[in-house]
Amino acid sequence: MCFEDEAGFTRRPPRGRTWGRRGRTPVVTISGRRSGRLSVAGLIAMRPGSPTRLCHRLRTHPAGKGKRRSMGERDFIALIDGTHHLVKAPIVLVWDRLNTHVSHAMRELIGTTTRSDHRTSRVQPE
């Protein structure tokens, strides 16, 4: 049984406040260019009698208009295939109702099963 979730982070430093002497504005230096986003998808694979496995994928997204800022179907398919290769057993996948999870490409991937390569998907209720 596998549980999957994802998260996205901005690479910009947070704008914050700090204390300083009256009349002297403190300057906080930041090294490097920190633009864009980072997406992480993680999957916990549990199997009776075997150690629990954590599989993950990281993806950086450059800053700019018109560019994808999250993980797509291909990223999730690669994560599922990598987990299946690692676990070497049928997968029952439990995940949320993200649009890339319930897309046509995902339904097609899960629908194409053979005897040796079995995948089942369960979507969590809202």
Alpha-carbon torsion, ordered 11, 98, 43, 105, to 10 deg = -110
Percent of the chain with pLDDT strictly greater than 70:
81
Mean pLDDT calculated for residue range 83-107: 82
Global pTM reads 0.68
Round to whole Å and give the CA distance between 99 and 81.
19
Neighbour tally for 121: CB within 10 Å:
19
Contact assessment for residue 89 and residue 47, using Cβ atoms and an 8 Å cutoff: yes
pLDDT at 44: 92
In this structure, what token pair is assigned to residue 32? 């490097």
pLDDT at 116: 44
Q: What are the tens digits of pLDDT across the range 37-90?
A: 889 999 999 888 888 999 999 988 877 777 777 888 888 888 888 888 888 888
